[in-house]
């Protein structure tokens, strides 16, 4: 037996009507908007675990939770031919950083275009648990008002432990308390991801952190030099973001060296500048931050588009041999990827550049043309910005599997991701794991559909979904919770291009 997004939607609609409620009334009960309820009832909206619980409570209908027990899964009918246009949505990783940075502001913050995904739900639950008021305006705008005093002692530990973004509370909270506790960070299963670079950087800015049983115990020192130079021991994105938030409200000048210039860091810098923090060197490895003692300003900020989602959508067109146009691609963070694709023979047509709603990020519309690909001449590997993005590397495993010849994918950053990508072999790819960081791929591949368990890592899981679009027959991709963490309504959006992806709970009705 299985329940689908359509059957759950009908169940919700019937329960709402039985109570005599309008869609707007249910939306008010959920703290959502009428258009989201309309999409839910038509089976066209991603249902997060958080939303399922809220629906069951609002409608007093535990049957909704019972019907969606177990994992959420995708049934994908293969050999899809896609067509049409699709917009890139805003950055999940930038949203995480800016949500945390909103704690720096004692005024009203409105974030425009924020994604409604599991990861946002998690960090929203954490924010609310420490006293922050959140109000959704329309589908994707979020108003954030923090209290005069935050209460980290009431933090939602379950939500906090399920997201690595909780680490980015260290920078903002150090400006509020002499000491505080934070639960250990979670996130994807990508091997050992040390927090030491965070602690090393924050120590130079006055924050000492000791790992205790289940928590980070943070102690703040006021003995900080008025002018300081901090060199990061790792050019990490969240490390840079944490140091930025610590420096933003530390009076004086902080010079941050070996900083990441990646897309989410730039977005955070643009946001902090709107709050009145002076930052020089955005996009480079040296940032100079002039901190302020207090921030109390009403601000609206448009989060910029996500280059990883852009690459996801472009890959969908490439592996299915389709012609689609992916609009609003942040070109600055895709140029190396496009250079590799060009070497492989992939034809892309780019529009003239224009600006994102934040007034800063450069965008283009990209049309994917069906192309015959050959394997790249050299290994494909990531580098810190402006190199090939670490999170875009997995898509080249799928792309190389469609190309003629032998390719090597070298993921030197994560311990486990190459292992997770080895699951492409279950759909027919000739993939050999050379070691924990290197894959040998021989193409082209005749993809075949089957039942397959989703790996516990976001990008490898999405790569299986993309391969399944090109596969003969039907693929049941089981337990796709990790995909919902990072993408908003991805099945429904791909379906508008011609894919056939059905969301269901329970046992598959077809496949192996």
**417 HSE (CA, 13 A, CB side):** 26
Q: Which of 159, 72, 141, 200 is nearest to 481 (CA)?
A: 72
Q: What pLDDT, on the 0 to 100 scale, is given for residue 189? A: 42
d(CA 484, CA 404): 32
d(CA 439, CA 393): 12
Question: CA angle, 219 as apex, 214 and 221 as ends, to 5°?
Answer: 165
Q: Which three-class secondary structure string do you get for 325-345?
A: EEEEEEHHHCHHHHHHHHHHC
Secondary structure of residue 266 in the 3-state scheme: helix
d(CA 276, CA 257): 22
d(CA 323, CA 473): 21
In the chain the domains, ranked by start, together with CATH numbers, are: 2-69 (1.10.260.40), 74-89+306-506 (3.65.10.10), 92-302 (3.65.10.10)
Q: What pLDDT, on the 0 to 100 scale, is given for residue 188? A: 41
The string over 411-421, giving b where at least 16 C-beta atoms fall within 10 Å of a residue's C-beta and e elsewhere, is: bebbebbbbbb
Q: What pLDDT, on the 0 to 100 scale, is given for residue 512? A: 53
Q: Could you read off the pLDDT tens digit of each residue along the chain, which spans 512 residues? A: 578 889 999 999 999 999 999 999 998 888 888 888 999 999 888 787 778 888 999 999 888 888 888 789 999 999 999 999 999 999 999 999 999 999 999 999 999 999 888 888 889 999 999 999 999 888 889 999 999 999 999 999 888 887 778 889 999 999 999 999 988 865 444 344 467 888 889 998 999 988 777 788 899 987 778 889 999 998 999 999 999 999 999 999 999 999 999 999 999 999 999 999 999 999 999 999 999 999 999 999 999 999 999 999 999 999 999 999 999 999 999 999 999 999 999 999 999 999 999 999 999 999 999 999 999 999 999 999 999 999 999 999 999 999 999 999 999 988 888 999 999 999 999 999 999 999 999 999 999 999 999 999 999 999 999 999 999 999 999 999 899 888 989 999 999 999 999 999 988 865 45
Q: What pLDDT, on the 0 to 100 scale, is given for residue 351? A: 98
**Pairing of β 323-330 and β 347-350:** unpaired
Q: What pLDDT, on the 0 to 100 scale, is given for residue 186? A: 54
At residue 460, what are phi and psi to the nearest 5 degrees?
-60, -35
Q: What pLDDT, on the 0 to 100 scale, is given for residue 165? A: 82
> Token pair for residue 242?
């944490």
CB contact at 8 A, 76 and 281: no
Sequence-ordered alpha helix ranges (H) in 104-195: 118-129, 157-160, 170-173
Secondary structure of residue 397 in the 3-state scheme: helix
Tell which phi-psi region holds residue 131, choosing left (phi > 0), alpha (psi between -120 and 50) or beta.
left
**Pairing of β 179-183 and β 207-212:** unpaired
Q: What pLDDT, on the 0 to 100 scale, is given for residue 210? A: 84
Q: Which of 473, 421, 476 is nearest to 447 (CA)?
A: 473
Residue reference for tokens 């924990």? 436
Total number of residues shown for the chain: 512
Secondary structure of residue 176 in the 3-state scheme: coil
Terminus-to-terminus CA distance in the chain, angstroms?
A: 16
Residue 348 DSSP symbol: E
Q: What pLDDT, on the 0 to 100 scale, is given for residue 164? A: 74
Q: Which three-class secondary structure string do you get for 171-236?
A: HHHCCCCCEEEEECCCCCCCCCCCCHHHHHHHHHCCEEEEEECCEEEEEECCCCCCEEEEECCCCC
Q: Which residues contact 18 (CB under 8 A, 6 or more apart)?
A: none
Q: Which residues contact 176 (CB under 8 A, 6 or more apart)?
A: 103, 149, 150
Sequence-ordered alpha helix ranges (H) in 60-181: 62-67, 92-101, 118-129, 157-160, 170-173
Strand partners, 112: 302
Q: Which of 405, 409, 445, 406 is nearest to 425 (CA)?
A: 445
Give, for 4, the enclosing helix (H) or strand (E): strand 2-4
**Radius of gyration of the chain measured on its C-alpha atoms:** 23
Q: Which of 445, 447, 502 is nearest to 476 (CA)?
A: 502
Give, for 22, the enclosing helix (H) or strand (E): none
Q: What pLDDT, on the 0 to 100 scale, is given for residue 1? A: 53
Strand partners, 302: 112
């Amino acid at each position: 037996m299985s329940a689908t997004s359509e059957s759950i939607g009908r169940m919700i609609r019937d329960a709402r009507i039985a109570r005599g409620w309008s869609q707007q009334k249910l939306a008010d009960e959920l703290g959502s908007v009428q258009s989201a309820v309309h999409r839910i009832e038509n089976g066209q909206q991603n249902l997060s675990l958080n939303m399922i619980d809220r629906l069951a409570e609002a409608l007093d209908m535990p049957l909704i939770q019972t019907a969606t027990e177990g994992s959420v899964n995708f049934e994908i009918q293969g050999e899809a031919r896609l067509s049409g246009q699709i917009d890139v949505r805003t950055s999940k990783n930038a949203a995480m950083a800016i949500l945390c940075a909103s704690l720096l502001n004692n005024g009203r913050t409105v974030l425009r275009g924020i994604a409604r995904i599991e990861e946002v739900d998690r960090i929203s639950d954490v924010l609310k648990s420490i006293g922050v008021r959140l109000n959704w305006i329309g589908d994707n705008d979020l108003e954030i008002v923090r209290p005069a005093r935050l209460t980290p002692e009431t933090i939602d530990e379950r939500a906090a432990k399920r997201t690595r973004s909780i680490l980015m509370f260290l920078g903002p909270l150090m400006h509020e308390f002499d000491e505080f506790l934070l639960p250990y960070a979670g996130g994807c299963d990508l091997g050992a991801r040390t927090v030491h670079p965070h602690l090393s950087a924050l120590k130079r800015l006055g924050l000492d952190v000791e790992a205790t049983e289940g928590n980070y115990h943070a102690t703040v020192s006021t003995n900080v030099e008025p002018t300081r130079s901090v060199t990061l021991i790792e050019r990490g994105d969240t490390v840079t973001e944490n140091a930025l938030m610590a420096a933003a409200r530390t009076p004086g000048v902080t010079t941050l060296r070996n900083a990441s210039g990646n897309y989410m860091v730039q977005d955070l810098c643009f946001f902090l500048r709107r709050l009145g923090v002076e930052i020089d060197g955005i996009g480079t490895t040296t940032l100079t931050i002039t901190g302020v003692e207090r921030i109390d300003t009403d601000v609206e900020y448009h989060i910029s588009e996500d280059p990883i989602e852009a690459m996801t959508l472009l890959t969908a067109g490439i592996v299915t041999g389709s012609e689609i146009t992916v609009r609003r691609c942040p070109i600055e963070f895709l140029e190396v990827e496009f250079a590799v694709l060009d070497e492989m023979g992939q034809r892309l047509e780019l529009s003239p550049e224009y600006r994102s709603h934040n007034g800063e990020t450069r965008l283009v519309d990209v049309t994917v043309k069906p192309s015959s690909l050959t394997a790249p001449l050299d290994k494909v590997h990531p580098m810190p910005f402006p190199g090939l993005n670490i999170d875009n590397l997995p898509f080249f495993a799928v792309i190389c599997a469609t190309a003629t010849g032998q390719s090597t994918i070298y993921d030197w950053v994560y311990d486990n991701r190459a292992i997770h990508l080895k699951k492409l072999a279950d759909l027919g790819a000739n993939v050999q794991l050379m070691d924990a960081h290197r894959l040998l791929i021989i193409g082209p591949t005749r993809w075949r559909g089957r039942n397959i368990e989703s790996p516990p890592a976001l990008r490898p899981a999405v790569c299986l979904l993309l391969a399944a679009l090109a596969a003969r027959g039907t693929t049941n991709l089981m337990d796709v919770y990790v995909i919902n963490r990072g993408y908003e309504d991805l099945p429904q959006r791909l379906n508008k291009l011609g894919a056939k992806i059905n969301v269901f709970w329970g046992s598959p009705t077809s496949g192996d």
